[in-house]
Amino acid sequence: MRLYDVEISSRLLLGTAQYPSPLVLTDAIAASGCGVITVSLRRETANGGGGNGFWPLLQATGAHILPNTAGCHSAREAITTAQMAREVFGTNWIKLEVIGNADTLQPDPFALVEAARVLCADGFAVFPYTTEDLIVAERLLDAGCRVLMPWGAPIGSGRGLRHVDALTAMRGHFNGVPLIIDAGIGAPSQAAQAMEMGFDAVLLNTAVAKAGDPVAMAQAFGQAVAAGRLAFEAGLMPPRDMAVPSTPVLGMADLGLGGVR
Amino acid sequence: MRIDLNGIPTEVAAANLGDALMALGYGSTALATALNGVFIPAAGRATTLLHEGDRVEVLAPMQGG
């Protein structure tokens, strides 16, 4: 999979927040086989708190770093945060989040497009967290985005793909554009579903971090994403309205015992 | 002068952002700064003058989703 001209080995992208310990986090990253991990920026205390101890651990994983603008509620806020992230993390990749509502954490599509336009023009490789709205997606591509990240369900909800029809339409409409389902995935089966639908990758965090055994769950997600992708490439059978016997009927014995055929 | 540092009123004597961070104990290189909502690159901190009431944000890498 190529994202902004970078070859990524795994179609699972993993968030790094909410894990019970740094060791569980790094073990989960390794077990998932993910190729990209997301990070953020937060206020640092004067004596150097925990942030800078955390960063070398993630660098050592070898995964590509995707900083986010989580928590930003305006285009300006997101733009400044992206600029700060580019310097600290040494990458022009940015997961662009501009939140429109504090309760639903729904993207603000207007501010998102505005920020994407500024950041793309400034040389960023923008990964916009968006909805399944096709027109917003068009505008994001017009702004210079070469990857789109529609939500599956609200962030942290674990509800899976809430609007399957709309996501199917989006996949069909943007053939050739890398589409990553970002947010709302709660179970490996939901990740596999997204991959079977032809989405290029899945980004999740809470489902692994808050699992009973995050390392095992990370491995389960890695396998589900790989299986879903393989199934998509293999070509799923078309659904049928009626039952069709899989065992041949021709040549079946007539035992004269009253079976109705 | 008094500035707002990560949301906390803070007294600083230094005239520029670079010296202020040094005096406040920010030693790490993995920091990003903004002044009044505008990104200030590391190379520009020493030439960025501070004024009474300035809002300074100092951010570091953190876990994220």
pLDDT at position B7, please?
95
pLDDT at position B27, please?
79
Contact criterion met (CB below 8 Å) for A85 and A61: no
Query: pLDDT tens digits for B41-51?
Result: 999 999 999 99
pLDDT at position B28, please?
67
pLDDT at position A260, please?
60
E runs forming strands in A56-173: 64-67, 93-96, 125-130, 149-150
Q: B39 touching A, CB under 8 A? A: yes
pLDDT at position A194, please?
98
Q: Do B58 and A16 touch (CB under 8 A)?
A: no
pLDDT at position A53, please?
75
How close does chain A come to B14, measured CA to CA in Å?
Answer: 15
Option in A46, A54, A205 nearest B25 (CB): A46
Q: Do B60 and A40 touch (CB under 8 A)?
A: no
A residues 80-99 lying closer than 8 A (beta carbon) to B: 80, 83-85, 87-89
What is the rounded (10 degree) CA torsion for B25, B28, B29, B34?
-50
In angstroms, the Cα distances linking A49 to A54, A142, A189, B27, B30 are: 10, 41, 38, 11, 12
Residues of chain A falling short of pLDDT 70: 48-52, 260-261
CA distance B17 to B53: 13
Query: pLDDT tens digits for A13-27?
Result: 999 999 999 999 999
CA angle A136, A123, A128 (to 5 degrees): 30
Average pLDDT over residues B34-61: 96
A residues 196-215 lying closer than 8 A (beta carbon) to B: 205-206
Closest-CA residue of A relative to B24 is A46
What global pTM score does this model have? 0.93
Q: Do A51 and B30 touch (CB under 8 A)?
A: yes
List CB contacts (< 8 A) between B6 and chain A. 43-45
How close does chain B come to A169, measured CA to CA in Å?
Answer: 26
Query: pLDDT tens digits for A58-75?
Result: 999 999 999 999 999 999
Average pLDDT over residues B53-59: 96
What is the rounded (10 degree) CA torsion for A34, A94, A52, A18?
-50
Q: B29 pLDDT exceeds 80?
A: no
Q: A21 touching B, CB under 8 A? A: no
At A31, list the tokens.
């077990």
How close does chain B come to A102, measured CA to CA in Å?
Answer: 16
How close does chain B come to A65, measured CA to CA in Å?
Answer: 11
A210 a catalytic residue: no
What is residue A172's three-state secondary structure? helix
Q: B64 touching A, CB under 8 A? A: yes
pLDDT at position B17, please?
97
pLDDT at position A259, please?
73
Q: A67 touching B, CB under 8 A? A: yes
pLDDT at position A55, please?
87
How many C-beta neighbours within 10 Å does residue A31 have? 19
- CA A132 to chain CA mean position, Å: 13
CA distance A111 to A76: 9
Closest-CA residue of B relative to A75 is B37
Count of CB contacts below 8 A, A vs B?
104
CA distance B43 to B32: 11
